[in-house]
Amino acid sequence: MTRKGAEIFLSESELLARLSVSEQKLLKRLEHYPVLISRYFSRQIDWRNPEDPLRKQVIPTRAELSQKGFLDFCGERKFMVNRFLIHRYPDRAVVLGTNQCFGHCRFCFRKRFWKEPSWVIDEDGIKVVCNYLRKKPEVQELIISGGDPLRMDNLWLEEIIGRAGLLKQILWIRLASRALSFFPERIDEGLIKILKRAKKQIWFISHFNHPQELQKETKSRIKRLREAGIVILNQTVLLKGINDRVKILIELFSGLCELGVKPYYLFQCDPVLGGADFAVNLGKAVEIMKQCSRYSGLMIPRFALEVPNYGKLWLGPGFQLRKSGKNYHLVSPAGKVYSYPVSG
């Protein structure tokens, strides 16, 4: 990254000028969960409309003061090999390139990172990651995440991709970033050259939650990635009051398919501490997906959720949903039962 933060993000004074008095006061009470908005994303927001779907993703409400939810709902901490590496599933591992992002999503499941001073993986960190992976031949997929890995300089990003490319057991690399939505300018020729030089197949994972995010500049950068032969898959989070309507989701999925981006996952929002109010009631979420399934299968993603003490669970056909007190019981076609907290 060569652009300075002041060029990428709204300053505090610029942000406050866009907020109501009550929102300004709220920011002072949420200093441990700071607001961060890129200038690009800010230009896509209708600041006069408090219900703007992009605004609601990045501006906190009083609900964020609630103690409802979990600091680490996914239970990632117990799977952290070190600061930079998570190994939860046998066949894949996550390298955390940085804890910095191009914007702070108020529903982020790694919100706990915001309390830490900024950090970026260094040469020693990359060596430690690669040494660990060499001892784990069952790991065939490396996911580069964060934070947002594209907040790293190209130097470090290429170092990670290059070193991973030398590991025989790594068959492909997943690069997860919200840059296309928050700061599409980051998808420049330097980055594209790095991705094209990679020795292993790169899968670019974008994160769009609303069709309003598919603006001209974003579409242009998607086109450049695709022209370079980069495959793009999208992950969406189902968010109460933002995209929890079939019409909105289908417009998003259709728009992505038109651009050559495959809708990959629709995630149930994790009930993270301070962000649990974004979670749609699971019964409603399942009904939304049932209605979406009537449309072309090409544009319908998998619906998945994070199950405590288990991990990611895809709610495919045949799953039954039963409510029992403060939990839902998810019953698989094989009869296995998973518990999930009621929310929304």
At 249, the amino acid letter reads: L
Mean pLDDT of 109-132: 93
Crossing angle for the helix pair 282-292 and 246-258, to the nearest 10 degrees: 50
pLDDT in tens, 202-255: 999 999 999 999 999 999 999 999 999 999 999 999 999 999 999 999 999 999
The CATH number linked to 136 is: 3.20.20.70
Least confident of 38-47, 64-73, 125-134, 283-292: 64-73
Q: What is the largest CA-CA distance in the chain?
A: 56
Residue 67 is part of which domain span? Answer: 5-341
Instruction: In whole angstroms, give the CA distance from residue 64 to residue 299.
Output: 33
If you write DSSP's letter for every residue of 123-156 in order, what string do you get? Answer: HHHHHHHHHHHHT-TT--EEEEESS-GGGS-HHH
Instruction: Give the model confidence (pLDDT) of 154-197 as tens digits.
Output: 999 999 999 999 999 999 999 999 999 999 999 999 999 999 99
Residue-averaged pLDDT of the chain: 95
- Give pLDDT tens digits for 311-322: 999 998 889 999
- Indicate the number of domains in the chain: 1
- Lowest mean pLDDT, pick from 30-34, 60-64, 166-170, 213-217: 30-34
The order of strands in the sheet holding 320-324 is 320-324, 327-331, 337-341
Residue 344 has pLDDT above 80, yes or no: no
